[in-house]
Structure 1
Amino acid sequence: MTDILSISAVTGEPLPWPDTTIAELVVAQAARTPDAVAVRQWDDRLSYAELVSRAAGVAAALRARGVGRQSRVGVCGTRRPELVVTVLGVLLAGGCYVPLEPGGPRRRLRGIAADAGVSLVVGDAAEAEFGDAPGVEAVGLPGPAPLVPCPATPGDPAYVLFTSGSTGRPKGVLTSHRNVVEFVTGVVTLTGADAGVRSLGIASLGFDAATMDLFVPLVLGGTVQLLGAEDRADPVRLTRFIAEHEVNWGFITPTVLAMLDPAELPAWRTVLCGGEAVPAALAARWAPGRRFLNGYGPTETTVLAVSGPLSATETEPVPIGRPLPNHRAYVVDGALDPVPPGETGELLIGGPGLADGYLGRPALTAERFVPDPFSGRPGERLYRTGDLVRRGPDGRIVYLGRADRQVKIRGQRIELGEVEAVLAGLPGVTGVAVEAVPGPAGAELVAFLTPADAPGDAELRAYAGSRLTAAMLPARVLRRAALPVSPTSGKLDRPALRALAVAAL
């Protein structure tokens, strides 16, 4: 196994990072560039000095209510510059923020607050969403206040993000200041970002990409170009926002990026794309003339763990890249033994980006965060991603799909990602998703294709019939102008697809 391990492990470059909190880094930058614009949304601008003084006001109001180190505070705010003020205010108080998106399903929102043990919710939508919630105090946004040093330490939690759980109960991922600071340091190095960065502030606060949107520019003296809800939801308005705010750096999901035209956004020079598999056709459209990077990482590894540049000549399946600085990746079999390069296995991630675990879920934490038997470093852990990958001939890691997206059709085990990759190669198809749903004769595959005039069934079967087994061919094909997008993550909304498939029976 040692020989296999020595050639199959992929390790990022070593890179030191500051031993401090993300809040202290933002405050230090504000002291250097107090008059620079920190956050912009059209004509609404906040300078660094205004951002910190107003965040200090939020921190003072929270401290007066007992918030200190490791206190979990709900953040419930609309997508205005004040949202950034609120987040920084919680961090300056020493607390960790729990995103509670306004306007979402009320029962889920309050369930997350209860699971997180939140008794304070702050933000301009806190009163509307939690004013009548038993045991929860809703706090509006106060005025500025003098800055008080942040009491948090690097090992304290910065935020708790709740991700979907297979049981239907969301699980809270505990991410520390150290995780965030190390990640931001790494992605700045990866992308070459500097004080001129104007980031695309598109991610929902409940999606970990918001860490990148907000904190990369704020530690460099750049500007967060924060999208409002309406601009974020419409491709035409999104294009206008990006162009008029001169966005030059940003992360976006493939589903949303596919709706935009690169020719209309020439100033956007660094595009990070991820959260889902990046299609080769999308790289072909967006890579020419700019820096186009794939970005892979579960919330449990702090935003991104693997990344790398993509060219216009990539083929399916598109590589996700190599580990970020200070991280390591292993491809293992079911017994967690390394497999040789080129063979498929589960991706394990190690490094300082690994979260502390799941809030109040010790058994689940122990199941997904396992001791590292490979590095020889005492106490090191690895996160089991549940993603199937292989290491390509050039050393890059190639994402093949989720282990739990394997289904059985007529007794045959099928990887839905493989079916999607084949259908994506059919000329005239711009988007594809495949789901397994109950049918009249058992589970069946339903393919969703864009555009609405995507190739017909006969053409599809002629193309895919020589590339897929009979059981892998979709029983039904639904064509649409666009695939549904989750308003929270910007990713493909697969539950909505399954509902559409069942409704179309």
Structure 2
Amino acid sequence: MDTFEKTDGLSQLNNTAVDYPKDKALHHLITEHALKNPDKTALVFEERSLTFKNVNEAANKLAKHLLTYNIKTGDIIGLALDRSPEMVISLLAILKTGAAYVPLDPEYPKDRVEFMMEDSAAKILLTSEKFKGHFTSVAQEVLIEDALNKFDSYSADEPDTIVTGTDLAYVLFTSGSTGKPKGVQIKHHNLVNFLLSMAKEPGLTPADNLLAVTTISFDIAGLELFLPLLTGAKLIVTDAITAKDGRALLDLCLAQQITVMQATPYTWRVMLEAGWEQKLPLKILCGGEALPKDLINKLIARSSELWNMYGPTETTVWSTVKLILNDSDITIGKPIDNTQVYILDEKLNNFTDGTIGEIYIGGDGVAKGYLNRLELTNERFVDDIFSDLKGSKMYRTGDLGKIREDGEIVCLGRIDHQVKVRGYRIELEEIEQNLLKQNNVKQAVVIAREDVPGNPRLVAYVIVNEAIADADLKTQYETWQKGLLDVLPEYMVPDDFVLMEVIPITPNGKIDRKALPKPDYGNIQRIGDFIAPRTANETLVAEIWQELMGIKSISIGDNFFELGGRSLVAVQIMARIEKETGKRLPLATLFEHATIEKLAARLDIDPASITWESLVPIKPSGSKMPLYIVHGAGLNVLLFNALAMNMDAEQPVYGLQAKGLNGIDEPLDVMEEIAANYIAEIVAKNPDGPYALAGYSLGGIIAYEMAKQLIAAGKEVKMLAMFDTYADLSTAHDPAVKRALNKGVLLLKQIGHTFVLLAEDPKRTIEYKSLILKRRIIKMFWKLAPGKDEKKEGFFAYDNEIDEASEKALRNYIITPLNIAIELFRAKKRTFYMADFEFLGWTPFAKKGVHVHEIPGEHNTIFAPPNDKVFAVVLQECLDKVSKS
């Protein structure tokens, strides 16, 4: 390459200015094309086929129906539909109303979807009869079936709305590093610029057939669903099951004569493993994670073109493209239209000489920012110092890169710990934060490993609070996975767990992720005896599983999914079985036949016949009356675990943790509402009772209100227990002078009692008072901290917010007498002043009396060993006694 070519390549890198209709909304351009080619087939789904006229007019009618719900330009509408023509029509209809859509995959955990609805303040949830009432939100639920039934009431012409290129088109939530997803705001002009550039390169024409396989919650779906409608190409939509089945995708490519398909490397690998050998007239768009070198030549040999696509959600899907010709020239190419890419250091110096730096992206694809995350927006979207346009921003990608002499960009991976697994962008910290909330987890580090090429796996390295016997490891791992599945999508749940004594660190004190050991994939912790294959088919299936899963010895009763099996290896297994037996089983067979024994038996048959809850099950099994324990001010129910484990084997124990710990739900600040929320979860699992309630510290007050509400509802409360809870009387309604006087008297008594404690145990008293003072200082600084709502980081990110809500609830709650007995479990050692040391203030409120049970320890140590064992015995005796009454 001569000097002129090198210089020219660099100088032209960001010379990408192109005119486009920046002021127009996307649906205006789609409508223009529909009017020009009304009778051409626009969309195909299974046996259904719709023309451009069909799609456009249906979207117009649906938009008019949505407008009857007082939708205005700039509003947000959530969309939760299965993959279908109605899903595509709904997206277009929402745009036509002037609203922006939030794509919600119905397969995602319920709590996560509900957070997206709440965070986006969506006015409407457009869903189907299938999901009616499934998601809880303040949004008005609109069923697509009801809307379709009313289509005859609306004309097919365009709705009378004003939408421009500066209005929002969608808000798409991505994984967040603090355990909380963040919404990226994309405007119409961002999307229009992107799509028109894609139409030119890699290119899409009216003669193309594009196969859409991506969930709408993944931003790349925007290309698949809108680009054909914009260019006149035919859009073929798959259902969710087909999209995950490599063989079904191959069949669909052949049957529908697919010419363009976009997918992650993972999906392309699934198709290759399914037996794809023939060359297809297929333009491949590959992105979502780094293009593996071993895939390149295989894909080139089987397609007409292979394009490498790169770009974060925050810059509107793809920002650079590259036609890949061989595996020796892998780059992410050059910027698309009206897009600039820079390689910068921490001082924003621009490197064009091949020096490695961070990739920044500017131009018309840069999003408006993160919804409700001002500080994070300011951190990631910085002023574009290279632009002459006032107010221009560029996005810090967090990716390392460099510019080659020919002007092409090489991406060198993440700066931080964000990873791509199966095409999904994952903040490992989000998994870690949620894993720390699981039972018996003291410390957790999660990384992505690819010990078997092409099979990336999330591995969690865990330090536990209490040792786990080898025989119990499998059960513990399943419990963790189940807990994570309740709050995270399936692709974010670790495949493997490794117990550690210590987490390795680097000399500068950071976690040394490279030193984390490879999991022993062949070491299975199974329940029950190993059973070897007994039949020819069992032997065949076992050999295939052992080879493809990398596990030395698999019992015929071992569950495929419990062994860490995922879609990719499932495809490989089914392809191998077909090759060996000639029998082609659906990929979904594994869900019902997940063991070697069951899958082998299936081969013997004729082929022709072939959603974070407050209620935490600490120890859910047992025949006795369950005990429900409400968290204390520390919000942690893990401390009840030792108590539960020391109780009778037949004694079920549940904990109730504060709403909002997951960083998604809003903390409740009214005592009656807190109690009602916990009751609802208990009654949903145990509608008939009777009920045994207990509360630790603050939790005792909550348990008291729960008992009050249950009794009012005609339910039987067999036991109400206070675990060292003082009956604080609310002074919220007292005159200000009286409150001030009472506070002064109380302070004097507390100071006096402190001197008594110092005389009895000076060391422990100083430790305890120092801890209380430290907590108060931290809380004071938190309340005064600017931008505290945007600075939530770490495991205890939401404790202060929940504490503040709980304190408000306590301040405003007035305890009234209740016709019940209270079982008071009182700590033997006192570390703070109380006006009533004997009954902790409960005598006026328990009409049937207060029964005192003294337990060892002080307020903060009654659950700690060896106190927990004594506490458990006293508590169990009390429970057994009241259950018989």
Q: TM-score, normalised by structure 1?
A: 0.80
Pick aligned residue for 1:298 from 288, 296, 312: 312
Q: 1:61-112 deviations in whole A, cap 9, x for unaligned?
A: 1111111211100111111111011111111111111112113211111111
Alignment of 1:216-255 (within 5 A): 216-255=227-266
Question: What amino acid sits opposite 2:296 in the alignment?
Answer: A
Question: What amino acid sits opposite 1:191 in the alignment?
Answer: P
1:155 aligns with 2:140: no
Q: 1:369-425 deviations in whole A, cap 9, x for unaligned?
A: 100112333222110001111223433211111111399xxxxxxxx89x96xx78x
Give the Cα–Cα distance (whole angstroms) in 1 for the partners of residues 117 and 374 of structure 2.
19
Give the Cα–Cα distance (whole angstroms) in 1 for the partners of residues 233 and 375 of structure 2.
41
1:276 aligns with 2:289: yes
Match of 1:405 in 2: 417
Give the Cα–Cα distance (whole angstroms) in 1 for the partners of residues 109 and 376 of structure 2.
25
Shift of residue 42 of structure 1? Answer: 2.1
What CA RMSD, in Å, does the superposition of the two structures yield over aligned residues? Answer: 3.1
Give the Cα–Cα distance (whole angstroms) in 2 for the partners of residues 314 and 436 of structure 1.
34
Does the 8 Å CA contact 1:10/1:330 hold for their aligned counterparts?
no
Match of 2:501 in 1: 440
Distance 1:68 1:480, change over 3 A: closer
Give the Cα–Cα distance (whole angstroms) in 2 for the partners of residues 397 and 177 of structure 1.
27
Structure 1, unpaired ranges of 5+: 408-415, 458-477, 486-505
Give the Cα–Cα distance (whole angstroms) in 1 for the partners of residues 403 and 545 of structure 2.
33
Distance 1:9 1:431, change over 3 A: farther
Match of 2:20 in 1: 17
Match of 2:126 in 1: 122
Give the Cα–Cα distance (whole angstroms) in 2 for the partners of residues 102 and 433 of structure 1.
24
Shift of residue 356 of structure 1? Answer: 0.6
Distance 1:185 1:43, change over 3 A: same
Give the Cα–Cα distance (whole angstroms) in 1 for the partners of residues 299 and 404 of structure 2.
23
Match of 1:338 in 2: 350
Match of 1:26 in 2: 30
Give the Cα–Cα distance (whole angstroms) in 1 for the partners of residues 127 and 253 of structure 2.
26
Q: 1:419-441 deviations in whole A, cap 9, x for unaligned?
A: 96xx78xxxx4445686735334
Match of 1:111 in 2: 115
Shift of residue 292 of structure 1? Answer: 0.6
Question: What amino acid sits opposite 2:67 in the alignment?
Answer: R
| Structure 2 residue matching 1:312: 3-state secondary structure | coil
Does the 8 Å CA contact 2:10/2:406 hold for their aligned counterparts?
no
Does the 8 Å CA contact 2:76/2:101 hold for their aligned counterparts?
yes
Match of 1:204 in 2: 215
Q: 1:179-218 deviations in whole A, cap 9, x for unaligned?
A: 1110001111112311112112111111111110011110
Q: 1:15-46 deviations in whole A, cap 9, x for unaligned?
A: 22123111111111111111111110121111
Shift of residue 307 of structure 1? Answer: 1.2
Give the Cα–Cα distance (whole angstroms) in 2 for the partners of residues 241 and 38 of structure 1.
17
Question: What amino acid sits opposite 1:442 in the alignment?
Answer: I
Does the 8 Å CA contact 1:51/1:85 hold for their aligned counterparts?
yes
Question: What amino acid sits opposite 2:382 in the alignment?
Answer: V
Match of 1:89 in 2: 93
Give the Cα–Cα distance (whole angstroms) in 1 for the partners of residues 549 and 45 of structure 2.
41
1:392 aligns with 2:404: yes
Pick aligned residue for 1:259 from 258, 270, 289: 270
Give the Cα–Cα distance (whole angstroms) in 1 for the partners of residues 240 and 259 of structure 2.
20
Does the 8 Å CA contact 2:381/2:393 hold for their aligned counterparts?
yes
Q: Which moved more, 1:288-297 or 1:74-83?
A: 288-297
Match of 1:44 in 2: 48
Give the Cα–Cα distance (whole angstroms) in 1 for the partners of residues 268 and 134 of structure 2.
37
Question: What amino acid sits opposite 1:34 in the alignment?
Answer: P
Compare relative contact order (CA 8 Å, sep 6+) and give the higher one, 1 or 2. 1
Distance 1:101 1:77, change over 3 A: same
Match of 1:193 in 2: 204
Q: 1:435-466 deviations in whole A, cap 9, x for unaligned?
A: 67353342443558999748999xxxxxxxxx
Alignment of 1:452-471 (within 5 A): 453=547
Shift of residue 340 of structure 1? Answer: 4.4
Does the 8 Å CA contact 2:39/2:53 hold for their aligned counterparts?
yes
Distance 1:135 1:376, change over 3 A: closer
Does the 8 Å CA contact 1:8/1:339 hold for their aligned counterparts?
no
Does the 8 Å CA contact 1:297/1:304 hold for their aligned counterparts?
yes
Give the Cα–Cα distance (whole angstroms) in 2 for the partners of residues 441 and 482 of structure 1.
32
Distance 1:280 1:394, change over 3 A: farther
| Structure 2 residue matching 1:442: 3-state secondary structure | coil
Distance 1:480 1:96, change over 3 A: closer
Distance 1:75 1:287, change over 3 A: same
Question: What amino acid sits opposite 2:16 in the alignment?
Answer: E
Pick aligned residue for 1:72 from 61, 69, 76: 76
| Structure 2 residue matching 1:292: 3-state secondary structure | strand
Does the 8 Å CA contact 1:131/1:138 hold for their aligned counterparts?
no
Q: Higher Cα Rg: structure 1 or 2?
A: 2
Give the Cα–Cα distance (whole angstroms) in 1 for the partners of residues 202 and 320 of structure 2.
13
Give the Cα–Cα distance (whole angstroms) in 1 for the partners of residues 567 and 295 of structure 2.
15
Give the Cα–Cα distance (whole angstroms) in 2 for the partners of residues 226 and 135 of structure 1.
31
1:381 aligns with 2:381: no
Q: Which moved more, 1:337-346 or 1:59-68?
A: 337-346
Residue identity (%):
30
Distance 1:430 1:172, change over 3 A: closer
| Structure 1 residue matching 2:326: 3-state secondary structure | coil
Match of 1:498 in 2: none
| Structure 1 residue matching 2:270: 3-state secondary structure | coil
Does the 8 Å CA contact 1:121/1:130 hold for their aligned counterparts?
no
Give the Cα–Cα distance (whole angstroms) in 1 for the partners of residues 74 and 177 of structure 2.
27
Give the Cα–Cα distance (whole angstroms) in 1 for the partners of residues 170 and 222 of structure 2.
10
Distance 1:359 1:129, change over 3 A: farther
Distance 1:377 1:436, change over 3 A: farther
1:363 aligns with 2:375: yes
Give the Cα–Cα distance (whole angstroms) in 1 for the partners of residues 271 and 136 of structure 2.
40
Give the Cα–Cα distance (whole angstroms) in 2 for the partners of residues 406 and 102 of structure 1.
25
Give the Cα–Cα distance (whole angstroms) in 2 for the partners of residues 284 and 182 of structure 1.
31
Shift of residue 336 of structure 1? Answer: 2.1
Does the 8 Å CA contact 2:401/2:409 hold for their aligned counterparts?
yes
More strand by share: 1
| Structure 2 residue matching 1:319: 3-state secondary structure | coil
Shift of residue 131 of structure 1? Answer: 5.8
Give the Cα–Cα distance (whole angstroms) in 2 for the partners of residues 147 and 229 of structure 1.
32
Distance 1:326 1:78, change over 3 A: same
Q: Which moved more, 1:110-119 or 1:371-380?
A: 371-380
1:319 aligns with 2:322: no
Distance 1:447 1:280, change over 3 A: farther
Shift of residue 8 of structure 1? Answer: 8.6
Match of 1:140 in 2: 143
| Structure 2 residue matching 1:69: 3-state secondary structure | coil
Give the Cα–Cα distance (whole angstroms) in 2 for the partners of residues 446 and 222 of structure 1.
49
Distance 1:452 1:190, change over 3 A: farther
Distance 1:7 1:220, change over 3 A: closer
Count of aligned residue pairs for this structure pair: 443
Pick aligned residue for 2:189 from 178, 187, 192: 178
Question: What amino acid sits opposite 1:257 in the alignment?
Answer: W
| Structure 2 residue matching 1:10: 3-state secondary structure | coil
Question: What amino acid sits opposite 2:461 in the alignment?
Answer: V
Give the Cα–Cα distance (whole angstroms) in 2 for the partners of residues 62 and 431 of structure 1.
44
Match of 2:873 in 1: none
Distance 1:118 1:265, change over 3 A: farther
